Amino acid sequence: MDRKVLERMLAQGNDSAMLRYTLGTLLLKEGLTTDAIAHLEQGLAQDASHSASWKAYAKALAGEGRISSAIKAYESGIEIAEQRGDIQAAKEMRVFLKRLKAQG
């Protein structure tokens, strides 16, 4: 999806956790981690039970060098994913968390 379209939707007041997640992940792919973090935080404020948002948020934090915050985000994401039965997301976040801890 085109980031500009999503930004227009947001500007028109169509704010939602899914829009923030999609925008955040696109920004993350473009290397704009600071902007990605802001959108992912807003999305999580709207729906803290979206495990994919936690995964992307933690990845963005790690990309900014905010390792302790990324670790906390992965841990929160794993807990949420397990509560929701999202086993694959929990597995993926455990792998990323393990790698992140090994760096530190």
pLDDT-derived band at 104, boundaries 50, 70, 90: low
**The domain containing residue 16 runs over which residues?**
3-103
pLDDT digits (tens, 9 = 90+) for 27-37: 999 999 999 99
Position 47 scores a pLDDT of 97
Number of folded domains that form the chain: 1
Distance between the two ends of the chain, CA-based, in angstroms? 35
Mean pLDDT of 78-102: 96
In percent, how much of the chain has pLDDT > 90? Answer: 95
Contact 39, 74 (CB under 8 A): no
Which CATH number covers residue 27?
A: 1.25.40.10
Q: Residue 103 belongs to what H/E stretch?
A: helix 87-103
Cβ-based neighbour number of residue 90 at 10 Å: 19
| Strand ranges (E), 1-104 | none
Distance CA 18, CA 43 (A): 7
Q: Is the pLDDT confidence value at 23 over 70?
A: yes
Which residue, 28, 9, 19, is CA-closest to 50?
Answer: 19
Q: Is the pLDDT confidence value at 5 over 90?
A: yes
**For the chain, what is the mean pLDDT?**
96
Q: Is the pLDDT confidence value at 103 over 90?
A: no
